[in-house]
Amino acid sequence: MRTSVLVASVVAFSLAAGASAQDSERLVEVSSIGKSRSGSTLQLLRLAHSEPDALGRAPDQRPALLIVAGLDGRYEIGPRVARSLVDRLVTNHADLLRERTVYIIPDLNPDNAAFFAREGTPKSDFGRTIVGYDADRDGRVNEDPADDLNADGLITMMRVKHPAPATGLTADLVPDPDDPRIMRRPEAAKGEAPTHAVLVEGLDADGDGRFNEDGPHGSAGGGVDLNMNFPALWPEHTDGSGPYSLSEPESLALVRWMLARDNIVCVLVFGPHDNLLNIPEAGRNAPDGREPLGIESDDKPYYEEIARVFKDATGMTGAPKGPDTAGSFHQWAYAHFGAYAFSTPVWVRPDLVKPKEADKPADAKDDSEKPAAEDGPEESPEDAIRREFQAAGAPQFVIDFMVATPAERAEMMASAQDRAPEEQRERMAAIMALPEELRAKVMAVAQGQEAQPAAPARTGGRPQGARPAQGAQAAASRARESDDAKWLKYSDEQRNREGFIDWQPFDHPQLGPVEIGGFVPGFRANPPESEWTRLADEQTAFAAALLDKLPDLTIDIHAVERLSTGLWRITVRGTNAGYFPTASAIARKARRLPPVVLDLRIEPDAVVAGQRIARWESIDGSGGTAYAEWTVAAPDGSTITLDVRSAALGNRTLTISLTEDQP
């Protein structure tokens, strides 16, 4: 599927950036992994020296790093940086591309970009695929998208003061007195009452009493979130997850292509999730008892080390964790495909980045290493709850409930009603047996759950975890500390107030007087142009560091010993000079690929000791070794062939001479 036109364009791009045409031609191959729903090419760039390496391996047989961006169309910076890595890696890290390969899929969701590029399409926080989906199950598809009522080219939010009962809306927020641009939940205990409903800008186009509940830009439907469409913990029956996992041509093409690339050992995703500053929870499994919810315990030290490398490369001290990982690409790449999989939004708010040495005042106390309170990789609130409840001997179902997301809790509570009465009684007794303080916490969470508004489509809110809140809603009690407040501060002080559209009155044909305003779509996902170079350099450094850490297996004949005439002992050694083990904990668990297989080509009867076909499940990096030993009956002076099979690290053949002048 090599596309010569595209090769030419990449070469031209590289030339413009100062690389030699010869290098690019040799190092970059452009092809595709398939087509999007609308038929656009899903581009694949392969960076590697094309001639066989020292072990005779072609590029697709060498340990590889895969970089994927653009699953979520809102994160435009992802594809931009992914593309700019091509030139930087080829120019500055060509040596790494001799025995390793980099695959880059810069934009997995080109239909989304094409949708917004159409004349007259307002900009919105909508990153899904472009496919109709009857989100409200009324037999009409995409009949009520969001609308750019004030014709400013943006879909923002509407706030409605004291909505009339006939609107179907309920006031549940108040403007924060400290910064009335920010809408937050009222504090009833301090005498506040809700005054406003907030919903996505638009009309109730189909007259069903709900606003923007079925169509692009709106509060539901209008496409599939590719990061909810992969089979790992796929969130079935959830808005945005698709009718079945891999229902989208884009996600299916990526999975099919990857399953034919057994050499991919590491994956880096540019998108809404961060698992580098927020290291995933280790050692906890889904209810089936096998599939990890985060990562395997034995992989955690490697994630911690890579996080350190990432922080060095980027200066990030914190990052929003992003939406739930259920159904996300990187969770699949880890838990099912068995690769080390990392994800970063590439750009975070500047207060989460450590200032460069040169920028710092000389006497400033260096506290920037301290992670931002709500984002940092210190003990997560979930871990704290787990520790506290475990210490009190709480049963697992209570702990699971306490650390669950609101959506999961709603599910648990709904399912609890279907349990047998005896079981319900037992569970209640277990809760009542908890220490009073913990019991109160459980009850508070359970009741808070019930009190939450049930119909997000009606208020214009979004399902938890599906997409970040679009409006200036803040659950934090003090606006100054909230995430929204920090974004506003950044917009006001560093971005000329361009990040937020101030609330402006608008006469809504159905709701009467409303105000329209809120964050500019994309403002919180994408940096200003002035940052592009810095971000590309950072991610190049990180990608190169990852590339350098891929496992690197050398195999040598360690010893050939003559025990007697025609009786020989052979020892073969494997050494991993890379950093990562030859197989991660998840790869060993997932068993998708065979381990390193050593197939001694000799009559089975001639093997006196040892397995004719031996296996190395995993060899640690940084010089870790493994041995295989056979005693064979074979004539002195004869030779035996050893076939080594490793999909990830390269097949090879060794010839063993049964003579004593071995090393």
Partner 1 sequence: MTRVGYPATPWRLRSLCSLRRSVFARVAFAASALLAASTAAAQPHIDGRVEIAFNRYYTYAELEAHLKSIAAAYPDLVELREIGRSGQGRALWVAIVNSPKTGPHTSKPAMWIDGNVHGNEVQSAEAVLYSLWYLTKAYGQVPALTDLLDRCSFYFMVSVNPDGREYWFEEANTPHSSRSNQRPVDNDRDGLFDEDPPDDLDGDGSITQMWIRDPDGRWERDRHDPRVFRRIRDDQRGEWTLLGSEGIDNDGDGRINEDGPGGDDMNRNWPSGWKPDYAQGGAGEYPFSNPETRAVGEFIMAHPNIAAGQSYHNAGGMILRGPGAQFRENFYPRSDARVYDEIARIGEDMLPYYRSMIIWRDLYTVHGGFVNWLAEGLGIISFTNELWTNARYFQRDVSSPDDERMWLFRDRLQFGLTFKDYTEFDHPQYGTVLVGGLNKWASRSTPTFMLEEECHRNFAFTMFHADHMPLLSFERVETARAGDGLWMVTVQVRNDRLIPSRTAVQAQRRIGVNDLLTCEPTGGGRVAASGSMNTWRDTRIDPVPFEPGRVQLPSGVPGRGGVIHRFYVEGQPGETVRLRYTGERTKDIETTVTLGD
Contact 179, 482 (CB under 8 A): no
Comparison of 102 and 596: residue with beta carbon closer to partner 1: 596
- Shortest Cβ 567–partner 1 spacing (Å): 19
Comparison of 134 and 556: residue with beta carbon closer to partner 1: 134
CA distance 117 to 292: 39
Q: What is the DSSP letter of 240?
A: T
- Shortest Cβ 427–partner 1 spacing (Å): 14
Comparison of 400 and 620: residue with beta carbon closer to partner 1: 400
Beta strands in 536-619 (DSSP E): 553-564, 567-576, 596-601, 607-609, 613-616
- Shortest Cβ 168–partner 1 spacing (Å): 6
CA distance 400 to 570: 52
Please give the single-letter amino acid code of residue 587: A
Comparison of 142 and 245: residue with beta carbon closer to partner 1: 245
β-partners of residue 198 are: 159
Comparison of 534 and 589: residue with beta carbon closer to partner 1: 589
CA distance 360 to 256: 48
CA distance 159 to 304: 43
Q: What is the DSSP letter of 266?
A: E
Comparison of 421 and 637: residue with beta carbon closer to partner 1: 421
Cβ count near 294 (within 10 Å): 20
Comparison of 211 and 580: residue with beta carbon closer to partner 1: 211
Comparison of 208 and 548: residue with beta carbon closer to partner 1: 208
CA distance 457 to 462: 7
CA distance 295 to 286: 11
CA distances in angstroms from 537 to 83, 86, 281, 348, listed in the order given? 12, 11, 29, 15
**580 phi-psi bin (left φ>0, alpha ψ -120 to 50, beta other):** beta
- Contacting positions for partner 1 (CB under 8 A): 134, 137-139, 168, 207-210, 231-232, 234, 236-237, 243-246, 255, 259, 286-291, 335-336, 411, 414-415, 418-419, 589-592, 594-595, 597, 599, 603-604, 611-613, 615, 645-647
- Shortest Cβ 226–partner 1 spacing (Å): 15
Rounded to the nearest angstrom, the gap between the alpha carbon of residue 522 and the centroid of all alpha carbons in its chain is 18
β-partners of residue 561 are: 569
Measured in degrees and rounded to the nearest 5, phi and psi for residue 425 equal -65, -45
CA distance 38 to 578: 42
The pairing of strands 101-105 and 64-69 is parallel
Q: What is the DSSP letter of 443?
A: H
Comparison of 162 and 601: residue with beta carbon closer to partner 1: 601
- Shortest Cβ 264–partner 1 spacing (Å): 15
Comparison of 509 and 604: residue with beta carbon closer to partner 1: 604
- Shortest Cβ 610–partner 1 spacing (Å): 10
- Shortest Cβ 646–partner 1 spacing (Å): 8
β-partners of residue 508 are: 512
- Shortest Cβ 333–partner 1 spacing (Å): 12
Comparison of 124 and 167: residue with beta carbon closer to partner 1: 167
- Shortest Cβ 347–partner 1 spacing (Å): 32
The pairing of strands 624-633 and 264-270 is unpaired
The pairing of strands 179-184 and 473-474 is parallel
Rounded to the nearest angstrom, the gap between the alpha carbon of residue 18 and the centroid of all alpha carbons in its chain is 32
Q: Which of 112, 83, 527, 108 is nearest to 346 (CA)?
A: 527
Measured in degrees and rounded to the nearest 5, phi and psi for residue 620 equal -60, 155
Query: Buried b / exposed e across 91-115, counting CB within 10 Å, b at 16+?
Result: bebbebbebbbbbbbbbbbbbbeeb
Cβ count near 83 (within 10 Å): 19
- Shortest Cβ 108–partner 1 spacing (Å): 16
- Shortest Cβ 408–partner 1 spacing (Å): 12
β-partners of residue 599 are: 613, 643
- Shortest Cβ 209–partner 1 spacing (Å): 3
Comparison of 24 and 142: residue with beta carbon closer to partner 1: 142
Comparison of 37 and 592: residue with beta carbon closer to partner 1: 592
Comparison of 326 and 372: residue with beta carbon closer to partner 1: 326
- Shortest Cβ 291–partner 1 spacing (Å): 5
- Shortest Cβ 204–partner 1 spacing (Å): 8
The pairing of strands 28-35 and 567-576 is unpaired
CA distance 383 to 377: 11
Q: Provide the sign of the torsion angle of the four alpha carbons 472, 478, 479, 485, taken in this order.
A: negative
- Shortest Cβ 194–partner 1 spacing (Å): 21
Comparison of 489 and 615: residue with beta carbon closer to partner 1: 615
